[in-house]
Amino acid sequence: MSRSFEIVIFGASGFTGEYVVENLAKYLAKKKKNLCWAAAGRSEAKVRSSLTSIGTRIGINFDSVPVITATVGDDASLDAMTKQAVLLINCTGPFRYYGEEVVVSCLRNSCHYIDISGEPQFLEKIQLKYHEEAKEKGVYIIPSCGFDSVPCDLGVNFIKDSFKPGVLNSVETYLTTGVTTGNHTTWECAVEGIADTNTLISIRRQLYREHFPEVMKIRSKFPIQQKGLTRFSDAASGLSGWIMPFIGADRSVVRRSQMDNYKYFNEKDMVQMEAYVIHTLFVLLRWIGAGVWLKLLYRFGWGRTLLKQFPSFFTYGMFTMDGPTRHETDTTNFSIHFLGKGWKEGDDRDKPPTSTIAAKVTGPHPGYPTCAICVNQSALMVLEEKTNLPLNGGVFTPGTAFRNTSLIKRLNENGVVFQLIY
């Protein structure tokens, strides 16, 4: 079937969608690549206005960029969009509400799908329900290709490959960032995700039972232990500060990648992983305070409404209706340190691992510029290196989909840098 566009960006006028459009346009102009793409959203006027604004900011004329009108809830409009695209980048969240219909439309019309979701319930539900259909149709469905969870998922691949010929037992990741505010949609996803934890547990049990039955029997002889709120330092890697568990999709995405490694690539030594955020005690106490409000109110419909209507109040200014300013996203960066333990050749694997390795991934503001870099380069991998992707299609994590591609190299060239520390 002939397609009009290699990439369609759905949700192009949204907060994150604008960054995705800007990054793709700048990359194509820099590389002088002739790639046919279109912007899509609910309102043609709003998308066109966003394109004009972005074009003025970066000095590129978008008047000739086609705009497609499509709305979740209108299958005909979604199908009209996905029939025209080789690959769709979906930026319309929360994905628990707006994601599945788009995935289904892509499957109906044999359009590859990538998104920026960091919502475990959506991610695991899509794999549970649609992996076999996607595989049969030769369609790649690869969610979580933004900051959630390309840097972390591929970072674990990177440190695991760097440890060879040894065997890596565990990795702890430590996120540091100067981000002070986030967009309210991220907070809304967190509120609804916490409120529907039981559904996630049910989906996860079914997914693991049906897709990874052999993996579920495996128990590590040396399990990794999660740390709570505590002071932490690692002089060799330069880490120092207070840490607490990172409540995001990274841990669950990496776990599924490791299960895929066992199932599809015969890698019997699965890496255990725990994720943390490291900051000052004051900042982490703000996170804990927001968590207390969540715990108090998420059980009630009116409570969730309040949490979503007044994000700045309940998160102590960490999430706002307006999101971060352009200045903040331009001047903020992140790093994720990866501290691994395992057995080098000659080590006794009947004893706890003592050999260590450290790496880090750094980049610009995680929520928006880094997200845009990751999702665009992931999309280009599907278009340019499809033969290096696993099977002939299916629902995959980034770590599984792109493990044999040049994605890490491409990310390094575009500002999201992977490097070994020791």
Per the structure block, which two tokens stand in for 157? 């691949």
Per the structure block, which two tokens stand in for 102? 């788009």
pLDDT tens digit sequence for 143-172: 999 999 999 999 999 999 999 999 999 999
pLDDT tens digit sequence for 375-393: 999 999 999 999 999 999 9
Mean pLDDT of the chain: 95
Q: Which pLDDT score, from 0 to 100, does residue 161 have?
A: 96
Residue spans per domain, the chain: 5-143+372-401, 150-367+404-420
Is the peptide bond between 64 and the residue preceding it cis, with omega within 30 degrees of 0? no
Is pLDDT above 80 for 306? yes
Grade residue 313 by pLDDT with cuts at 50, 70 and 90.
very high
Q: Which pLDDT score, from 0 to 100, does residue 217 have?
A: 81
Percentage of residues in the chain having pLDDT higher than 70: 100
128-146: average pLDDT: 98
38-55: average pLDDT: 98
Per the structure block, which two tokens stand in for 265? 């690539």
253-277: average pLDDT: 95
CATH topology of domain 5-143+372-401: Rossmann fold (3.40.50)
Q: Which pLDDT score, from 0 to 100, does residue 214 have?
A: 87
Is pLDDT above 80 for 1? no
Whether the full predicted model's pTM is greater than 0.85, yes or no, is yes
Place of tokens 């033969």: 387
Nearest to 186 by CA among 96, 303, 69, 282: 96
Q: Is 139 helix (H, G, I), strand (E, B) or coil?
A: coil
CB-based contacts of 12, cutoff 8 Å, min separation 6: 18, 20, 21, 39, 40, 41, 47, 50, 51, 91
**DSSP H helix total and E strand total for the chain:** 17, 16
The alpha carbon of 239 is separated from its chain's Cα centroid by a whole number of angstroms, namely: 24
Q: CA–CA separation, 253 vs 144, rounded Å?
A: 8
pLDDT tens digit sequence for 324-380: 888 999 999 999 999 999 999 999 999 999 999 999 999 999 999 999 999 999 999
